[in-house]
């Protein structure tokens, strides 16, 4: 198999979000739009779908699956943006690894770009009848790829880029941009979001595998995170360590340094 380096190429262009200003907190293991140039058959199999969510503090919620391009017209980008930044900032402040002011997202535009591209979908949990976002998670699909650019303090984002290549007959999907309202933790929302994302990934994978006539294709779920923050949560969910890197004091303003872990989980389909 030919190893190749894939450039960052968001569908809408990235002139407003240069690479050195893009996300510096984990959530994107590979550059976006690795499937550039391919038709997005996945999106023909799903439209916006809503269902009742769990009752949280006596309030009804709604869980909605979106093709990501539908989020902006639905008026949900501001709520998702605020939720993600608050969740990541709080997590890093509590752990002490990275200053809370190191936001995951720098602009609404950056969020839109990260959610743009073939095969990306997003779940959003809101209080019923409102646009108050209390949970979200996205997923994106990749083909064989490798990132050869070494990590550098001059490019903080590079700390969270996965190196390596998928094996043959493997399709990878990344769990990305998952966040829950910090006042509603330990209510089962993160676990619910992961179950929903993995279920939708499996549904799409089965359809795609059949359409392409690839019965031996296997599915692997991927994620990248800071070990000191939520490593244990993902281990409990069945994710295993592929490898980790340590980034010492000074990276992204950290006074202690931190470990970035790249994890994966073979999916039983």
Question: Is 171 within 8 Å of 143 (Cβ atoms)?
Answer: yes
Would residue 205 count as lying in a domain?
Answer: yes
Would residue 146 count as lying in a domain?
Answer: yes
Residue 38's domain comprises: 19-221
pLDDT tens-digit profile, the chain (269 residues): 332 222 323 333 333 333 333 333 333 343 333 333 344 444 445 557 899 999 999 999 999 999 888 999 999 999 999 999 998 888 776 777 877 667 788 899 999 998 987 789 999 999 999 999 999 999 988 754 555 567 787 777 788 887 776 667 888 899 999 999 999 988 899 999 999 999 999 999 999 899 989 999 999 999 999 898 889 999 999 999 999 999 998 888 888 889 999 999 999 88
CB atoms within 10 A of CB 99: 14
Strand stretches in the chain, DSSP E? 49-52, 61-67, 121-127, 133-142, 170-180, 218-226, 240-247, 258-267
pLDDT of residue 125: 97
pLDDT of residue 4: 29
Would residue 141 count as lying in a domain?
Answer: yes
Would residue 14 count as lying in a domain?
Answer: no
Question: Is 30 within 8 Å of 165 (Cβ atoms)?
Answer: no
* Cα(70)–Cα(48) distance, integer angstroms: 8
Crossing angle (nearest 10°) for helices 77-95 and 227-236: 110
Among the listed residues 43, 18, 268, the one whose alpha carbon sits nearest the alpha carbon of residue 140: 43
pLDDT of residue 151: 79
Q: How many domains does the chain have?
A: 1
Residue 56 CB contacts under 8 Å (≥ 6 apart), including other chains: 127, 134, 184, 187, 189
* Cα(225)–Cα(137) distance, integer angstroms: 14
Among the listed residues 253, 9, 236, 22, the one whose alpha carbon sits nearest the alpha carbon of residue 145: 9
Beta bridge partners of 226: 260
pLDDT of residue 149: 66
Would residue 199 count as lying in a domain?
Answer: yes
Would residue 157 count as lying in a domain?
Answer: yes
Helix (H, G, I), strand (E, B) or coil at 146: strand
What's the pTM?
Answer: 0.81
What six digits make up the tokens of 193? 């979001």
Would residue 34 count as lying in a domain?
Answer: yes
* Cα(219)–Cα(33) distance, integer angstroms: 19
pLDDT of residue 147: 54
Would residue 202 count as lying in a domain?
Answer: yes
Question: Is 218 within 8 Å of 266 (Cβ atoms)?
Answer: yes
Helix (H) or strand (E) holding 201: helix 189-212
The CATH number covering residue 202 comes to 3.40.630
Among the listed residues 226, 194, 198, 163, the one whose alpha carbon sits nearest the alpha carbon of residue 26: 226
């Amino acid at each position: 198999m030919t190893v190749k380096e894939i450039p960052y190429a968001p569908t809408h262009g990235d002139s407003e979000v240069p690479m050195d200003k893009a996300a510096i907190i984990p959530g994107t293991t590979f550059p976006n739009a690795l499937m550039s140039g391919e038709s997005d058959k996945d999106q023909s199999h799903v439209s916006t779908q809503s269902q009742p969510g769990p009752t949280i503090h006596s309030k009804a919620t709604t869980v909605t699956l979106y093709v990501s391009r539908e989020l902006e017209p639905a008026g949900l980008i501001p709520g998702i943006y605020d939720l993600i930044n608050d969740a990541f900032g709080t997590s890093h402040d509590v752990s002490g690894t990275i200053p809370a002011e190191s936001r995951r997202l720098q602009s609404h535009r950056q969020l839109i770009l990260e959610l743009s591209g073939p095969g990306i979908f997003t779940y959003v949990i809101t209080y019923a009848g409102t646009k108050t976002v209390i949970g979200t998670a996205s997923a994106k699909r990749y083909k064989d790829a490798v990132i050869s650019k070494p990590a550098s303090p001059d490019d903080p984002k590079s700390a969270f880029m996965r190196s390596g290549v998928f094996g043959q007959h493997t399709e990878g999907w990344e769990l990305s941009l998952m966040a829950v309202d910090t006042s509603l933790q330990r209510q089962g929302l993160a676990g619910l979001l992961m179950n929903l994302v993995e279920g939708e990934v499996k549904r799409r994978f089965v359809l795609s595998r059949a359409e392409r006539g690839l019965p031996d294709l296997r599915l692997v779920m991927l994620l990248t995170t800071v070990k000191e923050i939520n490593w244990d949560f993902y281990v409990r969910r069945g994710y295993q360590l592929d490898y980790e890197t340590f980034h010492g004091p000074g990276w992204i303003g950290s006074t202690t340094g931190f470990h970035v872990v790249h994890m994966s989980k073979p999916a039983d389909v």
